[in-house]
Structure 1
Amino acid sequence: MNQPVAHGHDNFRYDPLLYNADLAPVPAARRDWNWFNMATVWMGMVHNVVAYEAAAGLMAVGFSALQCLYIIGTAYLALCVAMWFNARSGTRYGIPFCVIIRSSFGPRGAMIPIGLRAICAIFWFSVQAYAASQALNAILSILWPGWAHLDHVVAGQSIQMWLAMAMMWALHGVIGAHGVHRIRNFELYAGPLVLVVAGVASAWAIYVCHGVGPLFDQPSQLHGTTLWLKFGSAVTSIIGIWASYAVNIPDLSRFVRSQRDQVIGQAIGLPLTAILFTPMSIFITSATVVQFGYPIWNPVDILVRIDNTALTLVGGATIIIAALSVNVAGNIMPAAYDLLSIFPRQFDFNRGSKMVLFLGIGAVPWLWFDHPENIYMVLNVIASTLAPITGIMLADYYFIRRQVLQLNWLYVFSGPYHGRNGWRMSALASMLVTLFFLYGAQIFHMSALINSMSWFVGVALSGLIYVILNYRTRNA
């Protein structure tokens, strides 16, 4: 192993495999995000195509508009609580998720949750960027008549879409390659703009339906036990959109100047904005039932169906801005941190963000836009996979560490967080047992109730096992 290098005022020697400038604690003087910055970043992330489609798709699978609102409210309340608590360590110590997770999993064991989180971030980047590519394709089809002739299929995609994807990937690269502060500045404008356009679209929905009343006239297709099991599963699916950020919210909160700012910013940016935005998608989808006779949950399909040039240009541009907004802060940034944590000598933030763009092609996002059931299936898998990591992080920071971390020891292969050869088996065992239980319940149909509440069960079970193991053993 390479010899550790000296760093810091106390001359503590950090290992180069665990430390670089991007992973170092952010000094208090550089933590310049206030509550408004945090709120606008969240506003930009909440207003995204997957969140829209997931909420709108609830009607396509049988829920009424009012039931959809209950589902959204329940999911975002649970998310808000988990993120408030998990963000505190980032704000207090100025360190990202990929460093904090070493406290519970050990410096080598941390590579497993970091890798899982990176895979989720790259997948979501790819899906969001593909949705933006669809919008760009619709815009170019209107502006350039010759674009429609580029319809030859290559590798499962038309040339139109391959070109649109290339342009969108390049645009993501330009915005994401300039670090966290460029991302913050972009979100100052993107988040509020998307909310304004979504409000205009909601006004269209109310106009089409001649008032708010008809938006809620579509009856539920689900009843009895099926309704409640589907309700729980839908809540878990909505949580799945943000389950990854329940894990790595410290990547953002490390730049916030105080706990008060991160709490207020998240309260405004996440639940409040989500409660405003997601009903808009439900209203719009309900209006498509009135206008066209069936629910249309993909916003690009709505633009194409309405066939209005001005609306397609404005709506398509908004979808693109929304995708850029969530991707640069919610997917590219955390995935870049994860990659440079796994390969600290090969990557810095800029190289990591470029690698995210490259790996995103491998997620083949066009396979996930056929039916709303596909999105819910993926969301449930993500929620189930990341729930144990959330539970372990919360249990470690609040019950085992009592909110006190020794920063220097998080950057070396020794000390209180090292475990056995860099692996803390209590965390690994808690995660594996919980995942075995959750996926076993799904594969063998052990309990419909467990399957419908997989995220909640995963957080609680993994946290409980982790606390028990660490109270019973000295060297976890």
Structure 2
Amino acid sequence: MTHSSEETLYKYNADLAPVKASQKTWTAYNFLTVWMGMVHNIISYEVAGGLILLGMSAWEAIFTIIVGNLILLVPMLLNGYQGTRLRVPFPVLIRSSFGVKGAVIPVILRAVVGIGWFSVQTYFIATIFNSLLALLWHGWTHVGGSFNFLGMNLTGWITFMLSWFLNVLILRHGMNSIKRFEAWAGPLVLILALGLIIWSVRVSHGFGPLFHQGAHFPKGQNLSTVFVPALTGVISSWATLVLNIGDFTRFSETQRAQIVGQSLGLPGTAIVFSFMSIMITSGSLVAFGHAIWNPITLLTHFHNIVILALGGFALVIATISVNVSANIVSPAYDITNLFPRHLNFVSAGIVAATLAIFLMPWKLMQNPTTLFTFLGAIGGLLGPVAGVMIADFWLIHHRRIHVMALYQRDGAYSYWHGFNLRALAALGLGVSTSAIGYFNTSLHWLYAYSWFIGLGLALVVYWVLSRIWPGEAPELSSTNEMVNAALSNE
């Protein structure tokens, strides 16, 4: 593609362009390790514990996690297929359904969620650093004295900026550096967790008491009343990645690579890691007299500098791994899409990371319930977006998308002044249904299950509206032929 032709395209630059054949180097192993890196984190570790605290038995918690991840895998593969086939990132792909201008709405929503979670996870890494440094050097907590800036002391600022820098260091080398980092980070965390498994088996002489403990639901509740809300919680932690999984799969060697890699990595890794977390916690119940679900707290009970250092290193690597992959890749592409003439993937990622600082997560985390309610509500808005995406590609266009028209202001996907009113109506209905459940306590289940309801409702509504009010369908050759034509001069 020549420089002159690039200038005529709408919201286009090298990072938003379809990837070249030479860039499609991600194998099934890469997708497996990416999911390892994203799943092997403290929040995932504590999910099983949260289900047991709701009253489930260990086996019921594991079953819930299995079902949730198998459900989640379906839209991951459907949207992952789009990325591999079309070779474009989420902000470009979404133009076929929402219009070349209307796409900015779901793009901004996804960017806000990504930056919010990046901010929180970066601060979370800083708290790990602080906890470990305080254990290794008792004078650490007194460094800086009474210094306070914007509500955080000197040690907090030192560890937060260190955490921020480590995340950006990986990001600044682009998607290939993320692939290389995840290739060793994901397996490393799993290996270190296996050490704790061996310890747990030795002290418990088997699986441990948690696996022999039955369900203990509060009065008036049982598995049937707890299961679906718990299932929603399991799914919601990764629901946002459903939208931009194509940011990764566009680099896949083949469809088989992303399908096999994701199928092994998402449900497989999540199930194994959850099983391991229950086993380790079960060992802590035997060793220390009470169940310890927080891995940082567990490490402090060993009073061993080597274990603290290795365990702390594993926790930092695990959290950076999920932060870079799940929380900053999408905002980097999303912000590039907003300012393609001025920013690329790396510079836009740094902008997103900088915006995360201004969110001051140390203040937000003073009331984490409010923070996660806000981020969860925004994330719930993305369920209808996923429904529209799936319906558009699989049911409306039947996998045939005019790739170059995604970069044309007045092309096949300009719809009405750049907006696809059918997609916006489906999104609006999905969001409003969730909002009704939020404000009407008698219909709270609509809000509790908003991701499921929003995705399904938006998918059906968008499909129906597109059937009764079809837009103009351009004559298309096969998608792969158009992608090859688009890249023929590169």
- TM-score (normalizing by structure 2): 0.89
Q: Report deviation, 1:157.
A: 3.3
Q: Report deviation, 1:448.
A: 4.8
Identity of aligned residues (%): 38
Answer whether contact 1:218 1:286 (CA < 8 A) is retained: no
Counterpart for residue 309 of structure 1: 305
- Alignment partner of 1:393 out of 389, 394, 398: 389
- Alignment partner of 2:321 out of 325, 333, 336: 325
Counterpart for residue 270 of structure 1: 266
Q: Secondary structure at the match of 2:441?
A: coil
Counterpart for residue 104 of structure 1: 97
Counterpart for residue 126 of structure 2: 133
Q: Secondary structure at the match of 2:133?
A: helix
- Whole-angstrom CA distance in 2 between matches of 1:68 and 1:373: 23
Counterpart for residue 196 of structure 1: 191
Matched, 1:217 2:212: yes
Q: Secondary structure at the match of 1:346?
A: coil
Alignment of 1:38-187 (within 5 A): 38-150=31-143, 152=146, 154=148, 155-187=150-182
Matched, 1:31 2:27: no
Q: Secondary structure at the match of 1:128?
A: helix
Moved more, 114-123 or 374-383: 374-383
Count of paired positions: 469
Counterpart for residue 4 of structure 1: none
Structure 1 runs not aligned, ≥5 long: 1-6
Answer whether contact 2:151 2:363 (CA < 8 A) is retained: no
- Whole-angstrom CA distance in 2 between matches of 1:369 and 1:298: 17
- Whole-angstrom CA distance in 1 between matches of 2:373 and 2:49: 15
Q: Report deviation, 1:203.
A: 2.7
Q: Secondary structure at the match of 1:25?
A: coil
Deviation string 1:248-298 (CA, Å, 9 cap, x unpaired) is 100000000110111011111111111111222233334444444554333
Q: Report deviation, 1:152.
A: 4.4
- Whole-angstrom CA distance in 2 between matches of 1:57 and 1:374: 18
Alignment of 1:198-347 (within 5 A): 198-222=193-217, 225=221, 227-347=223-343
Answer whether contact 1:152 1:158 (CA < 8 A) is retained: yes
Answer whether contact 1:60 1:295 (CA < 8 A) is retained: no
Matched, 1:474 2:467: no
Counterpart for residue 442 of structure 1: 438
Structure-2 change in CA distance of 1:444 and 1:389 (3 Å): same
Structure-2 change in CA distance of 1:228 and 1:374 (3 Å): farther
- Whole-angstrom CA distance in 2 between matches of 1:471 and 1:152: 66
Q: Report deviation, 1:211.
A: 1.9
Structure-2 change in CA distance of 1:422 and 1:447 (3 Å): same
Structure-2 change in CA distance of 1:379 and 1:340 (3 Å): closer
Answer whether contact 1:440 1:446 (CA < 8 A) is retained: no
- Whole-angstrom CA distance in 2 between matches of 1:60 and 1:472: 48
Question: Aligned partner of 1:133: which letter?
Answer: A
Q: Secondary structure at the match of 1:405?
A: coil
Question: Aligned partner of 2:446: which letter?
Answer: I
- Alignment partner of 1:416 out of 390, 412, 415: 412
Q: Report deviation, 1:304.
A: 2.8
Q: Secondary structure at the match of 1:189?
A: helix
Counterpart for residue 477 of structure 2: none
- Whole-angstrom CA distance in 1 between matches of 2:239 and 2:358: 22
Deviation string 1:411-446 (CA, Å, 9 cap, x unpaired) is 011122111111111111111111110121132124
- Whole-angstrom CA distance in 2 between matches of 1:442 and 1:404: 38
Counterpart for residue 476 of structure 2: none
- Alignment partner of 1:460 out of 456, 465, 469: 456
Moved more, 430-439 or 126-135: 126-135
Matched, 1:348 2:341: no
- Whole-angstrom CA distance in 1 between matches of 2:409 and 2:285: 59
Question: Aligned partner of 1:435: which letter?
Answer: V
Answer whether contact 2:113 2:375 (CA < 8 A) is retained: no
Moved more, 211-220 or 107-116: 211-220
Moved more, 220-229 or 369-378: 369-378
Question: Aligned partner of 2:20: which letter?
Answer: P
Deviation string 1:141-171 (CA, Å, 9 cap, x unpaired) is 2444431213747344343222111111011
- TM-score (normalizing by structure 1): 0.91
Q: Secondary structure at the match of 1:447?
A: helix
- Alignment partner of 1:428 out of 424, 430, 436: 424
Answer whether contact 1:179 1:350 (CA < 8 A) is retained: yes
- Alignment partner of 1:20 out of 8, 13, 18: 13
- Whole-angstrom CA distance in 2 between matches of 1:165 and 1:57: 27
Deviation string 1:361-413 (CA, Å, 9 cap, x unpaired) is 24443467679967874674354221111111000000111001101110011
- Whole-angstrom CA distance in 1 between matches of 2:372 and 2:231: 10
- Whole-angstrom CA distance in 2 between matches of 1:69 and 1:225: 19
Question: Aligned partner of 1:89: which letter?
Answer: Q
Structure-2 change in CA distance of 1:73 and 1:372 (3 Å): farther
- Whole-angstrom CA distance in 2 between matches of 1:140 and 1:378: 32
Q: Report deviation, 1:62.
A: 3.5
Structure-2 change in CA distance of 1:157 and 1:229 (3 Å): farther
Q: Report deviation, 1:49.
A: 2.1
Question: Aligned partner of 2:188: which letter?
Answer: L
- Whole-angstrom CA distance in 1 between matches of 2:286 and 2:151: 34
Question: Aligned partner of 1:422: which letter?
Answer: G
Counterpart for residue 475 of structure 2: none
Question: Aligned partner of 1:250: which letter?
Answer: G
Q: Report deviation, 1:475.
A: 3.9
Structure 2 runs not aligned, ≥5 long: 473-490
